[in-house]
């Protein structure tokens, strides 16, 4: 049996099971026969045609990199440009730790901040990988140097945003190892800021980039963040959503429902439907989208079944299965669809208990039903 064919087949089978899609439905959506799909899933037939790979990815609502488990070869000028910037990005992330100062010219802070805002509000929101690939390496070095100026705190927060952009850029382009290194740099930034808000946020990003490589470990990390003292509501809410995804993909559907309910409770403590903090976009809309994306198999999945993902444009659907959050929470079509499925909830509490036994604690919450939590 071909090793690569076996890996692709395994990923197709796992993602299809996570989506709760039958072999017949998946094959029809991909435009192939049921028998051919079965052979692919068993690793007995290699996916040699690019069109077949893309059709399977579209049917499963993931990116081709999720099926390949490696960088997806550039197929147009923009994609080629995005990949071309990866060596420089790798050099910057591996070459300088937080606290080390590159020998670069530092512009006026207003110009640097404008680039950070452009990166997060425009380039990431529009999935402009080529522009991100051009901007992030140089901006990262300039921010590292700016830490040694009177704008230290602002520069550190800018670094947090830029390292996050680097992590998801590398992930979406299928570059192995780089997202984890970017998350580690975020942890270093958080330690420099010495604030539980940023320490918990960096810890959440670490859990997020673990993705499908190790779902049990991802669950442990995300559940721990959901209980971290001093974390913002947005961070705890996102951590619960990630924990729900990790639980659902490992067959612990009731536990996934408990985390979805915790996230919904937290979302109700935010005045806006979507929080603007750090471009997390956590809120009621975001949580309802996750109920549909993660929910199949849980007891309360039917609450969100009115959301119609077929109404969303392709770029909102072809998302990495382990990073559902980023595109869904910024996709206007999905946010509009989620408004149709809004459900209420009680304010959520923050617990200050240690990370050990996270699964047992959340299972206990699920058995007891929604708690009367105090707002944070």
Q: Which of 364, 363, 369 is nearest to 247 (CA)?
A: 363
Q: Is residue 340 part of a domain?
A: yes
pLDDT at 137 over 80: yes
Q: Is residue 181 part of a domain?
A: no
pLDDT at 341: 33
Q: Is residue 136 part of a domain?
A: no
- Tell me the mean pLDDT in the region 123-149: 95
Q: How many domains does the chain have?
A: 2
112-121, 276-285, 351-360, range with the lowest pLDDT: 351-360
Q: 47 falls in which pLDDT band (50, 70, 90)?
A: confident
Give the number of other Cβ atoms within 10 Å of residue 175's Cβ: 18
Please tell me which of 46-55, 85-94, 239-248 the model is most confident about, judged by mean pLDDT. Answer: 85-94
- Tell me the mean pLDDT in the region 73-96: 82
Q: Is residue 325 part of a domain?
A: yes
pLDDT at 374 over 50: no
> What is the rounded average pLDDT for all residues in the chain?
78
Q: What is the pLDDT of residues 92-104, one digit of tens each?
A: 999 999 999 999 9
pLDDT at 308 over 70: no
Q: Is residue 219 part of a domain?
A: no
pLDDT at 93: 98
The whole domain housing 8 covers 1-60
pLDDT at 87 over 50: yes
Q: Which of 10, 45, 60 represents a domain boundary (last residue)?
A: 60
Q: Is residue 176 part of a domain?
A: no
Distance CA 185, CA 207 (A): 14
Distance CA 10, CA 47 (A): 12
Q: What is the pLDDT of residues 172-195, one digit of tens each?
A: 887 889 999 999 999 999 999 999
Please tell me which of 35-39, 72-76, 148-152 the model is most confident about, judged by mean pLDDT. Answer: 148-152
Q: To 10 degrees, the CA torsion angle through 314, 315, 318, 319?
A: -150
pLDDT at 351: 32
Q: Is residue 280 part of a domain?
A: yes
And the tokens for 20?
A: 């709760």
Q: Is residue 276 part of a domain?
A: yes
Considering only residues 11 and 137, tell me which one the structure prediction assigns the higher pLDDT. 137
Task: Write the CATH number for 20.
Answer: 1.10.260.40
Distance CA 107, CA 85 (A): 22
- Tell me the mean pLDDT in the region 333-356: 36
And the tokens for 149?
A: 């100026």
The reported pTM is 0.69
Q: 51 falls in which pLDDT band (50, 70, 90)?
A: confident
72-81, 103-112, 114-123, 322-331, range with the lowest pLDDT: 322-331
């Amino acid at each position: 049996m071909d090793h690569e064919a076996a890996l692709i087949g395994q990923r197709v089978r796992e993602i299809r099971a996570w989506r709760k899609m039958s072999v017949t439905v998946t094959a029809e959506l991909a435009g192939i026969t049921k028998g051919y799909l079965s052979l692919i899933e068993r690793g007995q037939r290699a996916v040699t045609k690019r069109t077949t790979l893309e059709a399977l990815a579209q049917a499963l609502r993931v990116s081709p990199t999720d099926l390949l488990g490696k960088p997806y070869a550039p197929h147009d000028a923009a994609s080629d440009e995005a990949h071309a910037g990866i060596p420089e990005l790798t050099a910057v992330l591996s070459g300088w730790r937080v606290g080390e100062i590159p020998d670069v010219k530092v512009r006026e802070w207003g110009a640097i901040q404008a680039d950070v805002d452009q990166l997060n509000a425009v380039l990431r929101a529009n999935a402009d990988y080529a522009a991100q690939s051009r901007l992030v390496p140089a901006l990262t070095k300039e921010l590292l140097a700016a830490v040694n100026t009177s704008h230290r705190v602002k520069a550190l927060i800018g670094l947090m945003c830029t390292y996050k952009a680097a992590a998801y850029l590398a992930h979406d382009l299928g570059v192995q190892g780089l997202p984890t290194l970017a998350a580690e740099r975020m942890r270093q930034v958080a330690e420099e800021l010495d604030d539980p808000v940023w320490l918990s946020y960096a810890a959440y990003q670490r859990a997020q980039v673990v993705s499908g490589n190790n779902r049990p470990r991802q669950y442990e990390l995300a559940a721990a963040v959901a209980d971290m003292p001093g974390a913002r509501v947005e961070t705890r809410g996102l951590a619960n959503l990630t924990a729900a995804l990790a639980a659902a993909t490992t067959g612990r559907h009731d536990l996934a429902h408990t985390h979805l309910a915790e996230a919904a409770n937290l979302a109700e403590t935010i005045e806006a439907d979507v929080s603007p903090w750090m471009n997390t976009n956590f809120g009621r809309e975001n949580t309802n989208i996750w109920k549909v994306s993660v929910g199949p198999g849980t007891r309360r999945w039917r609450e969100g079944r009115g959301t119609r993902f077929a109404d969303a444009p392709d770029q909102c659907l072809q998302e990495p299965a382990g990073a559902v959050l980023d595109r869904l929470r910024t996709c206007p079509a999905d946010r509009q669809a989620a408004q149709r499925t809004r459900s209420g909830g009680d304010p959520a509490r923050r617990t200050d208990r240690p990370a050990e036994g996270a699964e047992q604690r959340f299972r206990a919450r699920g058995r007891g039903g929604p708690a009367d939590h105090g707002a944070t």
